[in-house]
Amino acid sequence: VTYQNLIKLDLSNNQIFELEENSFNLSNLYTLNLKNNRIKNFKSAEIFYELISLKSLDLSGNLIQSIEKDFLSKLINLEHLYLTSNQISEIHPLAFQNLRKIYRIYLDNNKFIVLNHQFNFPALNSVQIAIPIIGLNAKILYSLLSVKN
């Protein structure tokens, strides 16, 4: 059985706590749902490297603590990113640098302490962030919430 033509994969609610390097060799995948698992961190930036067509990634309801620099770097076609209800307290300033098509990011119900750098999202329509955010720079908030043309 070949899965190369798979366009949607739902692995939600499976108690997954770790993903290996190149876990997803599915270049035609559009939607990946890893919601409500036990994922805490990503040991390799290469976990999602083959997902060049991915448009939607749902990692909400996990135990993710930080978003590292290269974690999302190959997801150049990503439009929707769901990171709601994790334990995220830190996002690397360059974590979203290759997400040129990102349209929506959901970051609510996390543990942000300081978010003091500016992100650039050319296609961004909305960001959903809930309190608590301490130390959110007004310039960053404008960058996060404004649409850039």
What's the average model confidence in pLDDT over 1-15?
A: 90
The 10s digit of each residue's pLDDT in 60-92 is: 999 999 998 888 989 999 999 999 999 998 888
What are the backbone dihedrals phi and psi of residue 142, each rounded to the nearest 5 degrees, phi first? -60, -45
The 10s digit of each residue's pLDDT in 36-59 is: 999 998 877 788 889 999 999 999
What's the average model confidence in pLDDT over 130-149?
A: 48
pLDDT at site 37 = 98
The 10s digit of each residue's pLDDT in 94-113 is: 888 888 888 888 888 888 75
Cα–Cα distance measured from residue 148 to residue 44, given in angstroms and rounded to the nearest whole number: 31
Residue 105 CB burial class (10 angstroms; 0-12, 13-18, ≥19): buried
pLDDT at site 147 = 45
Residue 1 CA neighbour count, 13 Å, CB half: 2
